[in-house]
């Protein structure tokens, strides 16, 4: 009897899957429990739902390495998805599975970071421009001279390498700017805070801090230690954006690095499935800079701040021109059929 | 025959479970076929090799928490040595990595035997040491892998004398796993060393009084584990084409597969085939959950629940069998 029931349920379920219309899209992500990545996954779900063209999402979302992502992508191929949107663990390590997917006629879109496999589309935030915009603003605030603390991301990560290029480009334009200290925060809040505390305690003179997105804890360190505030550049994480309007004496700028690029990736995948492939295989989303020293900048910061967002989420919850979901939809974090 | 079935009941049960799961996969996804088996085998390979290494140590009454970190060291060493190297050099690199694995395992074993600090403490400490070593060798993913090595785990095999249609269904990853495991484990199992491994696992004191060199055997167990960890690390590099210094999720997965595979955590009982089947079962469950688009956070809970349920079910069966 039990088997009969189970069999009927299974058959009905399968029949249900076959009769529904729309695309079946796979998602692969290898970092779980990080605010930026969670926003990315929610943006993917929200965009799939808002488009009305996606029947189901198969989401492989766990903490793993490139070998695990190979497994996930191959499982998605087996699941019969028509497109895969992937945040690659590594630019080269997952190429074989990406090639297998595109050979099987599956559209592959890499978001956030690039893959070197040429058959994949890449939709990424322009990380070089991200660093350049923030660094240039910072160096101007410092009056074009002085020493800067350069707090990078994770050593060897693709995004960190690209940001380093942008930072160096800005450095070249300001010959009187020097680097007081260069550290890798690993994009870890606790590590970054320890590092800035050490730098403050060591008494190294510096006139500005550039961070690769580990920003609110840096402001906290200045407030807690009572050290004189210097201009600080960070990302558009809700916590830091809030500090830019609330912390006394803080001059700073948030550069947008939307996690919602995941939603844009789903939008791009749908476009390609509909036969509207972009001319270039790589699409870069350009960042914006919101500072708190001019009235115009303050207005932008005030508009971006959103008390409903988790403090670790970037406040830029949509990518203009790409995503179509509403604020409520991304916060709800529900995909098709949920 | 009946005795053989009774002796291998657990392994046979796992084989049946795997077959049922594969059938279920076919029901969920009617298109599941040779390529599906191939990707399953490729995904299982690093897990299976780590599990075999762990199983040997557990059979000998120990545990090695540094297995995933040793894999990372092997993976980055292989990738660095093979980057831009010719085929011949790559072969030397592979041999060097395997030797390195044995050396790392020996260090673990010697530390445990000489210092008499519990194995769980020593290998936990060594986990951090090997992690640091891996990052020193390569601080970010990189390096390369020889094309012939990468081809060894991909696609079907061509075996002479068998029709192509049949061999297409046999993934190269499975053949690779079977060959290396048989080459290393079968001779050991049949030798005095194999008997000693089981002896020190069941009762080290009795083994000692029977003249078994307990310390040496323990070191050998860790060295074998190191060798399989090196093979596991190489298999990661084989599938990704790069070396990754941050260890993957192989430690807990290997302990889970060893337990699910019927090896008793106290040592002395169990085999190698059971844990390998358990690895394939766990990978198939993961594949099915992805295909069914189960919420990924729920999927992890389901995986854990299945594991506990199977082990509990097996324990109940075993107690009943003993009473009867």
Segment B92-114, tens digit of pLDDT? 999 999 999 999 999 999 999 99
Q: How confident is the model at residue B312 (pLDDT cuts 50, 70, 90)?
A: confident
Closest residue of A to B68, CA-based?
Answer: A65
Q: Does B211 touch chain A (CB under 8 A)?
A: no
Q: Identify whether A132 is part of a domain.
A: yes
> Distance between CA A187 and CA A160 in Å, rounded?
10
User: Cβ A90–B141 below 8 Å, yes or no?
Assistant: yes
Q: Identify whether A73 is part of a domain.
A: yes
Q: How confident is the model at residue B162 (pLDDT cuts 50, 70, 90)?
A: low
User: Å from B94 to nearest chain A CA?
Assistant: 19
Q: Does B154 touch chain A (CB under 8 A)?
A: yes
Residues of B in contact with A67 (CB under 8 A): 43, 46, 236, 239-240, 244, 248
Cβ B221 vs Cβ B189: under 8 Å:
no
Question: Could you give the number of structural domains in chain A?
Answer: 2
User: Cβ A93–B241 below 8 Å, yes or no?
Assistant: yes
Residues of A in contact with B35 (CB under 8 A): 77-78
Backbone angles phi, psi at A64, to 5 degrees: -155, 180
Closest residue of A to B295, CA-based?
Answer: A59
Q: Identify whether A300 is part of a domain.
A: no
Candidates A32, A64, A157; nearest CB to B248: A64
Instruction: Say whether A283 sits in a helix, a strand or coil.
Output: strand
Summarize pLDDT for B34-91 with one digit per residue, the tens. Answer: 888 988 999 999 999 999 999 999 999 999 999 999 999 999 999 999 988 888 899 9
User: Å from B138 to nearest chain A CA?
Assistant: 10
Q: Identify whether A164 is part of a domain.
A: yes
Closest residue of A to B79, CA-based?
Answer: A93
Q: Does B24 touch chain A (CB under 8 A)?
A: no
User: Å from A140 to nearest chain B CA?
Assistant: 33
User: Cβ A78–B293 below 8 Å, yes or no?
Assistant: no
Q: Identify whether A307 is part of a domain.
A: no
Residues 6+ apart with CB under 8 A from B320: none
- For residue B233, which of B221, B219, B245 has the smallest C-alpha distance? B245
Write down the pLDDT at residue B48. Answer: 97
User: Cβ B27–A67 below 8 Å, yes or no?
Assistant: no
Would you call B167 exposed, middle or buried from its count of C-beta atoms within 10 A (0-12, 13-18, 19+)? middle
Closest residue of A to B28, CA-based?
Answer: A14
Write down the pLDDT at residue B40. Answer: 92
- By mean pLDDT, which of A62-76, A124-138, B151-165, B305-319 is the weakest? B151-165
What is the strand order of the sheet A289-291 is part of?
A177-184, A146-152, A208-211, A232-235, A252-255, A289-291
Write down the pLDDT at residue B297. Answer: 80
Same domain, A120 and A19: yes
User: Cβ B249–A65 below 8 Å, yes or no?
Assistant: yes
Summarize pLDDT for B243-259 with one digit per residue, the tens. Answer: 988 888 999 999 999 99
Same domain, A131 and A120: no
Q: Identify whether A7 is part of a domain.
A: no
Q: How confident is the model at residue B172 (pLDDT cuts 50, 70, 90)?
A: confident
Same domain, A65 and A112: yes
Closest residue of B to A89, CA-based?
Answer: B141
Write down the pLDDT at residue B322. Answer: 63
pTM above 0.90, yes or no: no
Write down the pLDDT at residue B14. Answer: 92
Write down the pLDDT at residue A68. Answer: 92
Q: Average pLDDT for residues B220-235, to the nearest whole number?
A: 97
Identify residues of A whose CB sits under 8 angstroms from chain B CBs.
10, 14, 32, 56-68, 70-72, 74-80, 90, 92-96, 154-157
- For residue A166, which of A81, A229, A84, A257 has the smallest C-alpha distance? A257
How many Cα atoms sit within 13 Å of B4 on the Cβ side? 1
Cβ A27 vs Cβ A14: under 8 Å:
no
Per-run averaged pLDDT (10 residues), chain A, 338 residues: 47 43 91 85 95 93 89 93 93 92 96 91 92 96 95 81 93 96 88 94 93 93 93 92 91 92 95 92 90 91 83 84 91 88
Same domain, A212 and A265: no
User: Which helix (DSSP H) or strand (DSSP E) does residue A101 occupy?
Assistant: helix A95-103
Candidates A32, A72, A93; nearest CB to B242: A93
User: Cβ A65–B246 below 8 Å, yes or no?
Assistant: yes
Largest Cα separation within chain B, whole Å, is: 63
> Distance between CA A102 and CA A243 in Å, rounded?
45
Residues of B in contact with A32 (CB under 8 A): 296
Instruction: Say whether A116 sits in a helix, a strand or coil.
Output: coil
Closest residue of A to B234, CA-based?
Answer: A67
User: Cβ A59–B142 below 8 Å, yes or no?
Assistant: no
> Distance between CA B280 and CA B271 in Å, rounded?
16
Cβ A177 vs Cβ A145: under 8 Å:
yes
Phi-psi region of B244 (alpha: psi -120 to 50; beta: other; left: phi over 0): beta
From first CA to last CA, the distance across chain A in angstroms is 30
User: Cβ B236–A72 below 8 Å, yes or no?
Assistant: no
Residues of A in contact with B139 (CB under 8 A): 155-156
> Distance between CA B237 and CA B190 in Å, rounded?
31
Q: Identify whether A55 is part of a domain.
A: yes
Q: What is the mean pLDDT of chain B?
A: 90
Same domain, A241 and A133: yes
Summarize pLDDT for B204-213 with one digit per residue, the tens. Answer: 999 999 999 9
Q: Identify whether A321 is part of a domain.
A: yes
Kindly report the CATH number assigned to the domain that includes residue A180. 3.40.50.2300
| Torsion angle of the four alpha carbons B83, B86, B87, B90, in this order, in degrees rounded to the nearest 10 | -40
Same domain, A155 and A98: no
Cβ A225 vs Cβ A193: under 8 Å:
no
Residues of B in contact with A54 (CB under 8 A): none
Same domain, A91 and A209: no
User: Cβ A93–B296 below 8 Å, yes or no?
Assistant: no
What is the strand order of the sheet A107-111 is part of?
A54-61, A23-29, A83-86, A107-111, A121-125, A282-285
Range of the domain at A27: 14-126+259-286+316-332
> Distance between CA B311 and CA B304 in Å, rounded?
11
Residues of B in contact with A59 (CB under 8 A): 293, 295-296
The distance from CA B139 to its chain's CA centroid, rounded to whole angstroms, is: 26
> Distance between CA A189 and CA A214 in Å, rounded?
6
Same domain, A50 and A94: yes
Same domain, A34 and A140: no
Same domain, A29 and A68: yes
Ranges of each domain in chain B: 33-150+170-293
User: Å from A67 to nearest chain B CA?
Assistant: 6
Cβ A242 vs Cβ A305: under 8 Å:
yes
Q: Does B15 touch chain A (CB under 8 A)?
A: no
Candidates B29, B244, B287; nearest CB to A65: B244
User: Cβ B248–A68 below 8 Å, yes or no?
Assistant: yes
- Residue scoring higher pLDDT (B5 or A163): A163
Candidates A14, A70, A79; nearest CB to B240: A70
Share of chain B above pLDDT 70, in %: 95
Instruction: Provide the chain B residues 277-306 that lie in CB contact (below 8 A) with chain A.
Output: 283, 286-287, 290-291, 293, 295-297, 299-300
User: Cβ A92–B286 below 8 Å, yes or no?
Assistant: no
Closest residue of A to B249, CA-based?
Answer: A64
Q: Does B249 touch chain A (CB under 8 A)?
A: yes
Closest residue of A to B245, CA-based?
Answer: A65
- For residue A269, which of A44, A61, A95 has the smallest C-alpha distance? A44
Same domain, A222 and A323: no
């Amino acid at each position: 009897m039990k088997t009969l029931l189970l069999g009927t349920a299974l058959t009905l379920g399968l029949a249900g899957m076959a009769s529904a219309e729309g695309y079946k899209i796979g998602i692969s992500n290898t970092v779980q429990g990080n605010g930026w990545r969670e926003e990315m996954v929610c943006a993917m779900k929200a965009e799939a739902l808002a488009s009305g063209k996606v029947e189901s999402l198969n989401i492989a979302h766990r903490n793993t390495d490139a070998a695990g992502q190979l497994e996930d992508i191959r499982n998605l191929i087996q699941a019969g998805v028509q497109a895969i949107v992937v945040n690659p663990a590594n630019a080269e390590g997952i190429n074989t599975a990406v090639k297998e997917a595109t050979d099987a006629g599956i559209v592959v879109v890499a978001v956030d970071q690039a893959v070197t496999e040429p058959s994949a589309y890449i939709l990424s935030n322009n990380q070089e421009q991200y660093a350049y915009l923030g660094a240039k603003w910072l160096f101007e605030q410092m009056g074009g001279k002085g020493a800067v603390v350069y707090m990078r991301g994770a050593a060897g990560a693709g995004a960190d390498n690209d940001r380093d290029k942008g930072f160096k480009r800005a450095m070249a334009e300001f010959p009187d700017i020097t680097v007081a200290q260069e550290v890798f925060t690993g994009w870890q809040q606790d590590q970054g805070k320890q590092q800035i505390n050490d730098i403050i305690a060591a008494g190294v003179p510096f006139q500005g801090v550039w961070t690769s997105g580990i920003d609110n804890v840096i402001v906290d360190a200045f407030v807690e230690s009572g050290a004189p505030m210097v201009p600080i550049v960070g990302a558009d994480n809700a916590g830091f954006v809030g500090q830019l309007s609330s912390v006394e004496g803080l001059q700073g700028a948030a550069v947008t690095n939307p996690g919602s690029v995941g939603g844009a990736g789903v939008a791009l995948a749908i476009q390609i499935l509909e036969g509207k492939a972009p001319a270039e295989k790589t699409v870069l989303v350009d960042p914006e800079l919101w500072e708190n020293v001019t009235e115009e900048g303050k207005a932008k910061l005030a508009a971006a701040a959103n008390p409903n967002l988790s403090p670790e989420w970037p406040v830029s919850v949509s990518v203009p021109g790409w995503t179509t979901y509403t604020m409520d939809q991304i916060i709800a974090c529900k995909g098709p059929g949920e | 025959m009946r005795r053989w079935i009774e002796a291998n009941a657990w392994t046979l049960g796992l084989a049946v479970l795997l077959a049922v799961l594969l059938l279920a996969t076919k029901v969920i996804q009617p298109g599941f076929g040779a390529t599906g088996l191939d990707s399953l085998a490729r995904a299982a390979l690093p897990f299976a090799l780590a599990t075999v290494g762990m199983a040997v140590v557990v059979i000998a009454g120990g545990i090695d928490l540094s297995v995933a970190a040793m894999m990372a060291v092997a993976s980055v060493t292989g990738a660095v040595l093979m980057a831009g190297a010719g085929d011949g050099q790559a072969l030397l690199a592979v041999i060097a990595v395997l030797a390195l694995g044995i050396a790392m395992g020996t260090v673990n074993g010697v530390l445990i035997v000489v210092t008499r600090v519990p194995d769980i403490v020593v290998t936990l400490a060594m986990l951090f040491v090997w992690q640091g070593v891996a990052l020193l060798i390569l601080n970010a993913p990189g390096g390369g892998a020889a094309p012939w090595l990468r081809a060894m785990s991909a696609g079907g095999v061509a075996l002479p004398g068998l029709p192509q249609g049949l061999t297409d269904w046999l993934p190269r990853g499975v053949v690779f796993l079977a060959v290396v495991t048989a080459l290393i484990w079968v001779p050991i199992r049949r030798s005095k060393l194999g008997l000693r491994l089981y002896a020190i696992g069941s009762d080290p004191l009795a083994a000692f009084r029977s003249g078994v060199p307990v310390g040496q055997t323990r070191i050998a167990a860790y060295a074998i584990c190191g060798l399989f960890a090196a093979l596991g690390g190489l298999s990661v590099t084989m599938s990704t084409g790069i070396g990754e210094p941050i260890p993957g999720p192989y430690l807990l997965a290997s302990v889970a597969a060893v337990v699910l595979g019927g090896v008793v955590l106290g040592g002395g009982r169990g085999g190698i085939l059971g844990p390998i089947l358990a690895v394939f079962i766990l990978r198939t469950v993961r594949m099915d959950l992805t295909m069914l688009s189960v919420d990924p956070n729920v999927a992890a809970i389901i995986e854990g629940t299945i594991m506990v349920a199977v082990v509990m079910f097996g324990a109940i069966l075993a107690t009943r069998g003993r009473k009867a």
